[in-house]
Structure 1
Amino acid sequence: MSNEPDLTKLNIVFNGQKTPPLKINQLFDSRRFNHFTAITGHVEADFVNQYLSKFIQAEVVIGAQENARGKSAEEVVTKVALTDALLAVANKKPAKLFEALSSSNQANILNGLFQFEYAPVQAIYSRFYLLSNPDTGDTRVILGSIDLDQASFDDQHNQYSEILIFDNDKRLFNNLMDHFKHDIKPVLRPYFSDNLLQAAQKQLDESAKDKSGGSNVVILDNDTTNAIAAADMTDIISHDVQQQMDTNIIPHDTTISMRNVTMDRSQVKEAIERDTKQHDTVYTLQKTSVSPRAAKPKIKSREKIYEQVKEALVSGMSPQQRSAEKKYTTFLYDRPMERNLVNNNSGLYVPNDAGTHPIPFGKLATISQIRESLKSIDDVMKGYQKYVIDYSDDYGKRFYEAILYCFTAPFLWEIRTKASLNPEDGNDVPNFLIFGATAGSGKSTLLRIINQLTWNTDRSLIDFGTIYPEETAQKKNKTVEAIEHYMKEGSSYPVLLDEIEPYFFQQDQYSRHLVVDTMNELINHPQAVAPLIGTTNYDSGFTMLRETARRTYYLQIDKVIDDRLKGEANRYIYNVRQTLNNTLFKDFVMRMANLLEDDNTAWRMFDQKTGRLDFLANTRKIFKSYYEMAGIEIPPYFADTICDDFKESSRNTWAKLYLTQEDDFKYRKEDDSLLFDISKLNTLNGFTADSIEEYRNALPIELCVDGINGKRGKFVEIKAPDFFKWIGEHNPYEEDEQTHEDNSGQAAEEPKKKGFWARLFG
């Protein structure tokens, strides 16, 4: 007597009544119905040959597999539908399916009686099967988690499936058929392309001429299927995608998504590698959980399995990696769905002191507390004002802007979703704030101050160079991996990173991987990823890759504290820091949460001068209200808009180069351009080893003739009028009537220079 439980895994409901299992040929009854329309996820040739051959007409759509969840609309087109279509053709799946069909079904396809289709730019998850007989008027609708393969109907296959059958439910049948014809049909293309069908028909025609005896079955050789695959892949991109853009089925800017499809490839590769390792670990765990040599293997004791599991979970990490992982310990979780302003819940949570459960974070402050907090910030700014050489209020805005950014940091991912009309806009709300600073400028102290103002401690800083010991193999790669791990812990409190080494910004495999790929992930899949606020040593040659700069908020802190007053400055700032706390930050999160919940809050506010989105605009409004409540005038160092220091730094870099190396810029009259031999920026001429790439990265692409190509190679070619306008210098190659003799025969007076150099030195 069998001890197996009586479990029904294939649940069939016929017109609302549970019914015993039906045979496949009873479900797809070709004697009662002669027309068949289906959207399925997988098709087996044997299934078609056995169960669908006797239908007079059949239309089968091969939809998408369940692999597009969590992807953006653009990614569904490029990374799911189009990628799957191209891979299917590259792997010759259509040709293999066609060859595996019976000769009669091949003939049905060639004669247009059977149609197999797919959607190269849309992911179709619909699953339904429509059977009908126009002569009798009978209809059948089959819904369920099944495909056109044997496994879907195997009750012993250790999978649970539902099959719902509705006979002669005309309303349901017509609804689905109309949906198919009007909504789905326009995005479909033949699965068996014209190239494939022409090759098949040619082979049949040749076979018919063979007097020694031909065959009605099509079997194509490799050379033919290779040629078909190449032609079909070309047609998918050049014809199918273009046609669906022309008919507005997909957006016209899909080409931008196609161009950017590889931008986060490194993260995808890492995810695949991680997934492979996890599978290997779990497979090994299964294997070792049973006795290895017994004839009838038994599962080991719970104690032994527990030890194996613990070992497996840490086996992929070295002690150094575990030590590096623990350096980030500051957690602030943003949960907008839990936000309840009536109960003073900002939606932010922190672990309780014991770390056993989360507790709400945020509390409205009194007017006197707000006043005291503003006074503490003012005392900080007075320190910079008093002890920094050549301090100005405009320079002080950088420090204040850093405070505003850190206050806003936990909500940046929410602000990004509200301020973006399309994914590309998301880059205007950067998840990275970098201070380009000289030694002795107080950059590390600034990090500690904003840590105190938000977290009430100065111990959250992570030193970039000591995440891993100096002797660690592949230290650079592992350091960036650790930072990425810190950012993706689920917390939205910023990672505070001190002394980031210049290679991170200048070498593609590091900054592009972390900054560019992370931002692309954030704009396509909004989530709470901790912002990064970091410092790096600034020298006259600091640059970032263009893609990195586009996604980074850069503030230049290049003035130093007076050496003669350092002792006094240290004592002053130490005393000020004793007064700092996060009372104002706790109040701020409540007010920002209120703005985020208000549908009338404007998030797309642009600076009229620079044209940039001011993603901190509402933060500025809250702080202005603080000064109003406290009865304090808004200080002159208050930042009114986004600072654009990277562009200014790049401009200064090239302005100085032109003014000191003017003879090296060769003018081409026919193109109105300047040619510059960038290889001259070498150590023999007094430049650093990295100067070539530093200057190349600092040159805006829009100034280059032929775009990015104008920046590559030994010579860079620059649009002369735009270049001189950018660096603020007179264009000596511009036709100027004042330089010609006037009617009296005397030359006009040479205008005074009002360019960068004149502004710099008066």
Structure 2
Amino acid sequence: MAEQMTLDIGPVKGKESTLFIVLNGEQANLSIEEIFDSHRFKKFMAISYVSSPRFFAKVVKGFEEVEFILGIDSAEQAINFNSVYSLLIDVNKRIDFIKEFDAELQTRVSEDKVKIRYCNTNLPIHTKLYLLENPDTGNTRVIIGSANLTERAFSGEKQYENIAIFDNQPEIFKIYLEWFKKLFSNSFDFVPEEIKKKIKQEKAQTIVLDKEEKANIVTNEIARNLYHIVPLSQEIFEEWKASPQNIQYQAELQANEVRQKTQIIAAITKKDGKVYRLKPPQEIRKMNIVVDTLVSNSLKEDQLQVRQKLIYWDKNDLIYIVSEDNKTAEFSQKAEKDEIKTHISLITEFVEAYRKFTVTKEDKHLGKVMEAILYAFMSVYLWKIREDLVIQYGGESYRANVPIFLVLGGRAYSGKTTALEIIGMLLGNYPPYFISYDTIRKGNVADRELLEGFFGSEYLAPILVDEMPISFFTGRTGENIIKNVSNNAKGKHPVMICTTNMNEFNVPQQILRRIYYLQIDSEFDKRYNLESQEHLTKIRRGINSTLFKDFTYRMGELIREGEPLYLRNDYLYAARKIFEEYYRECKIDLPEWFPKKPFNDYEERGKRWWQEKYKHHKELFQIRPDGTIYVEINELFKDPKEKDFALNMLGPGCINESSHILILNEKEFFEYIGEKKKLNPVIRLIKGLVKS
């Protein structure tokens, strides 16, 4: 007989146990070793949820024979993703379970002396049943009750549980044994045959598999069980398909796990009448299904509570909101005409303030404020455009063509923070409508885990961050975050809108192409402080999320009707069209400053900067016969920081060499700054002679 277990758990001496035990009709106090007595009994049969493989191993170690059916925890979703289909494809869960066993127990599993099974059903197994037997002595024990096979349940001090034990009562034992055998006969091995072989061959406790091996296990399991797995009813299948939206998002991690499993299940099944059956193994192998651990980034959502929890429902292409008590309701709602007119008028008045109360009264500054509002409204759909680009053009790299970072650059008193606040109010955020950089900072740098977790979330409302330091865009941590999420954020995910100091904003090309930069650099005139504050107060009192709700309602209609949401060079195309429609419906003239296409502020800023440098320091730009320009860089830039700034400001193709000297490509540089190409003096002389 295997050795008796020793478990160092149980209630503190002198403290009443929270595990209530009835033995043969009388209350009893038993230790866990006495309950699962492997000296008295040789065989252990059970159905229960198991939270800790290590605790499971300690309990079963002393028995000579073990037959165990895994159940579910009461805390799991009502939609049972511990079904036969779910466990069939979740190879990692099954491997991780046996990894916790010591070498001896792993060997016994590989020899089928310890059998762990899961039922061939799509309904929850919520039973807690334990049957102990000794065929030599005839002793039997039946244990039923509320306690799962977990340390928490049997410790006698962490939660209230009850069990009833029936010793040597043949009729009761027979009834439960027959039921157990019925379920056991209709079950599948939880530990794949490939893993058992690996244990026998390698005799190692650590089990390591690559993705291809895991995928092979899935296809082999399907082949072995193809004609035995219970089919999915249409009702359950449809319920699963809708589950990412219908589950009330009690935990974002659970929703992501359900979604991924749903996609895999949908891929490996096909409809057969009113049920769904597994596809043949050869079809599944062709699909190159790779089964991997369901990994979700944890999101410190409590720090980002200014946002509403907005989700996209695939069933009707509308936006839904998740309430504080985790109930979902439609966010997208059609607004009344007078409500739309009120909001369009207030938005127009807000944008006009950037001319009325500022020093520089140019339409382009107003257009950029409006562009930021359009981006914010469209932000909950940018993930969809990114996905469509990948499908349409056939490459993952096309995702990065739609920037998921909007940066509002400006000087002090330029109104960039006010713009962020109004955007937050229009989206329905909670006060203070945006967060400070300190909220997402960890030490001296941005909290990478938090931010990447945010972009891994399916809550689509954008995160609004005020005063993002330039170090976020130039430092290694921030650069890696921007690159990673821009390139790799897939499926539904939010965006970030932030403000920063324009004078310091200077980023390399690899970051620039992944962000949308708008420069709001017209300062508010302090002489009009009182008047501008009164103007802003009026706007704050009148706006809310009504227009945004209507916007998402109209976007849903466009999506359902198959209308284009974007142009190749304008991912805000649909937002422009809907707002133009608002102005027409409200019979308000479309302002001249309304943006008809995207801005290219960073490039324009760079052009102006280099235009000035060339205009005032032409003697430092030596045009050479080979079509390049040698720049006396040490004379042009006395400060090394200014040199870095200048290089980042050059347009694509301008730089020929920039390691220790600066050589520009003549044609590209002059086109960039809007100058006509200067003829080499020798060529100019030859052309003059030819003319004469």
In the alignment, is residue 729 of structure 1 matched against residue 675 of structure 2? yes
Write out aligned runs for 1:697-708 (5 A): 697-705=648-656
Name 2:346's counterpart in structure 1: 376
Q: Does the residue aligned with 1:605 lie in a helix, a strand or coil?
A: coil
Structure 2 counterpart of 1:532, from 480, 496, 503: 496
Name 1:621's counterpart in structure 2: 577
Name 1:459's counterpart in structure 2: 432
C-alpha offsets along residues 341-378 of structure 1, whole Å, 9 cap, x if unaligned?
xxxxx232131xx5443332121111111111111111
Structure 2: distance between partners of 1:538 and 1:614: 24
| Cα distance change of structure 1 residues 436 and 68 upon mapping to structure 2, 3 Å threshold | farther
| Cα distance change of structure 1 residues 339 and 725 upon mapping to structure 2, 3 Å threshold | same
Is residue 467–residue 479 contact of structure 1 (8 Å, CA) maintained in 2?
yes
Identity %: 22
Name 1:548's counterpart in structure 2: 511
Letter in 1 for 2:44: E
Name 1:650's counterpart in structure 2: 606
Letter in 2 for 1:360: E
Name 1:513's counterpart in structure 2: 480
Q: Does the residue aligned with 2:590 lie in a helix, a strand or coil?
A: coil
Structure 1 residue ranges without an equivalent (≥5): 13-17, 21-38, 49-62, 70-122, 130-140, 146-174, 188-270, 279-320, 341-345, 469-473, 607-612, 746-762
CA apart distance, 1:445: 0.7
Q: Does the residue aligned with 1:7 lie in a helix, a strand or coil?
A: strand
Name 1:65's counterpart in structure 2: 210
Name 1:584's counterpart in structure 2: 547
Name 2:524's counterpart in structure 1: 561
Structure 1: distance between partners of 2:650 and 2:553: 42
In the alignment, is residue 390 of structure 1 matched against residue 367 of structure 2? no
| Cα distance change of structure 1 residues 573 and 511 upon mapping to structure 2, 3 Å threshold | same
Write out aligned runs for 1:115-126 (5 A): none
Letter in 1 for 2:649: A
Q: Over aligned residues, Cα RMSD in angstroms?
A: 4.2
Q: Does the residue aligned with 2:224 lie in a helix, a strand or coil?
A: strand
Is residue 620–residue 632 contact of structure 2 (8 Å, CA) maintained in 1?
yes
Structure 2: distance between partners of 1:551 and 1:702: 18
Structure 2: distance between partners of 1:532 and 1:567: 31
Structure 1: distance between partners of 2:217 and 2:341: 58
Is residue 511–residue 548 contact of structure 1 (8 Å, CA) maintained in 2?
no
Name 1:326's counterpart in structure 2: 303
- Name whichever of 548-557 and 568-577 sits farther off: 568-577
Letter in 2 for 1:517: N
Q: TM-score, normalised by structure 2?
A: 0.57
Structure 2 counterpart of 1:673, from 628, 641, 656: 628
Letter in 2 for 1:424: S
CA apart distance, 1:143: 3.4
Name 2:369's counterpart in structure 1: 399
Write out aligned runs for 1:168-567 (5 A): 326-339=303-316, 346-351=318-323, 354-420=324-390, 421=393, 422-455=395-428, 457-465=430-438, 475-479=443-447, 481-507=449-475, 509-522=476-489, 525-528=490-493, 530-539=494-503, 542-567=505-530
C-alpha offsets along residues 444-482 of structure 1, whole Å, 9 cap, x if unaligned?
1111111111216551211225655xxxxx622354554
Structure 2: distance between partners of 1:547 and 1:68: 37
Name 1:300's counterpart in structure 2: none
Is residue 41–residue 64 contact of structure 1 (8 Å, CA) maintained in 2?
no
Structure 1: distance between partners of 2:472 and 2:688: 55
Q: Does the residue aligned with 1:638 lie in a helix, a strand or coil?
A: coil
Name 2:44's counterpart in structure 1: 4
Letter in 1 for 2:479: R
User: Number of matched residues?
Assistant: 452
Q: Does the residue aligned with 1:578 lie in a helix, a strand or coil?
A: helix
Structure 1: distance between partners of 2:445 and 2:340: 44
Is residue 365–residue 521 contact of structure 2 (8 Å, CA) maintained in 1?
no
| Cα distance change of structure 1 residues 590 and 739 upon mapping to structure 2, 3 Å threshold | farther
C-alpha offsets along residues 372-399 of structure 1, whole Å, 9 cap, x if unaligned?
1111111112211211222222331101
Is residue 468–residue 498 contact of structure 2 (8 Å, CA) maintained in 1?
yes
Structure 2 residue ranges without an equivalent (≥5): 1-40, 46-65, 69-114, 119-182, 186-192, 203-207, 227-279, 289-293
| Cα distance change of structure 1 residues 727 and 368 upon mapping to structure 2, 3 Å threshold | same
Name 2:275's counterpart in structure 1: none
CA apart distance, 1:338: 4.6
Q: Does the residue aligned with 1:362 lie in a helix, a strand or coil?
A: coil
Structure 2: distance between partners of 1:446 and 1:700: 29
Structure 2: distance between partners of 1:348 and 1:739: 72
Letter in 1 for 2:371: E
C-alpha offsets along residues 127-166 of structure 1, whole Å, 9 cap, x if unaligned?
559xxxxxxxxxxx97379xxxxxxxxxxxxxxxxxxxxx
Structure 2: distance between partners of 1:408 and 1:68: 42
Is residue 480–residue 514 contact of structure 1 (8 Å, CA) maintained in 2?
yes
Structure 2: distance between partners of 1:665 and 1:40: 70
Q: Does the residue aligned with 2:360 lie in a helix, a strand or coil?
A: coil
| Cα distance change of structure 1 residues 714 and 386 upon mapping to structure 2, 3 Å threshold | same
| Cα distance change of structure 1 residues 45 and 489 upon mapping to structure 2, 3 Å threshold | closer
| Cα distance change of structure 1 residues 68 and 716 upon mapping to structure 2, 3 Å threshold | farther
Structure 1: distance between partners of 2:451 and 2:636: 33
Name 1:79's counterpart in structure 2: none
Letter in 2 for 1:403: I
Structure 1: distance between partners of 2:326 and 2:224: 46
